[in-house]
Amino acid sequence: MKVHQQGVSIIELMVAVVITGILFALGLPSFTTYLANAKLRTTAESFLSGIQLTRAEAVRRNSNIQFVLTNDLPSPATVATTNAVANGRHWMIRTADLSTFIEAKSSAEGTSSNPNNASPVQINSGGVSALTFTSLGGSTLGATATFQFTNPSGGNCKGANPSGPMRCLNIVVSIGGQVRLCDPAVDAAAIAAGDTRGC
């Protein structure tokens, strides 16, 4: 009488583990790039929402409202003392007379595994440290402001020299108060053909 073996042998199990390890190693760089791009997009969209909220609050309250970049940890207790800093890692929305706190965000949110508690995403504000919106929804800017979002730890931006894996984003704020998120890697030919993602 022949006995039939059930289950798998140790050799079959080891082969399966090795194949799984190889597939994981091949997919890890792509997954890491995906996570870095997702963090960059999330930070840019949070920033965009903050600017849009600032403009909406200025119209709703019929007064000037500030969107402030800062390296201080923003909170209601520091509404009057938070310093505006170009390329700041955090942002705060407050009334222009510095009396009322509306909202704030830290770029360190969602990065608790980072020992320095800082986001890998960098913001280049082009020297702008604060935006003020008026009761009519316009800004007090003298020229259009562009905020650039990059993630140097993930690599160079697509379309940059040299081109890299990061899908970097810009937020453009016009004098009239219009705010939009755009992709600087979209080329002029695509924009001319109607691609609205371009800057």
Helix (H/G/I), strand (E/B), else coil: 71: coil
Which stretches of the chain are assigned E, i.e. beta strand?
65-70, 90-95, 101-106, 122-124, 130-133, 145-150, 169-173, 179-182
Tell me, yes or no, if the pTM score tops 0.85: no
The string of pLDDT tens digits covering residues 133-189 is 999 999 999 999 999 999 988 889 988 778 889 999 999 999 999 999 999 988 878
The string of pLDDT tens digits covering residues 155-171 is 899 887 788 899 999 99
The tokens for 95 are 């009334």
Give the burial class of 129: count Cβ atoms within 10 A of its Cβ; 0-12 exposed, 13-18 middle, 19 or more buried: middle
Q: Which amino acid is at 72?
A: D
**What are the structural domains, with CATH classification, of the chain?**
10-63+117-192 (3.55.40)
Q: How confident is the model at residue 114 (pLDDT cuts 50, 70, 90)?
A: very low
Q: How confident is the model at residue 112 (pLDDT cuts 50, 70, 90)?
A: very low
Phi first, then psi: give them for residue 131, nearest 5 degrees. -115, 135
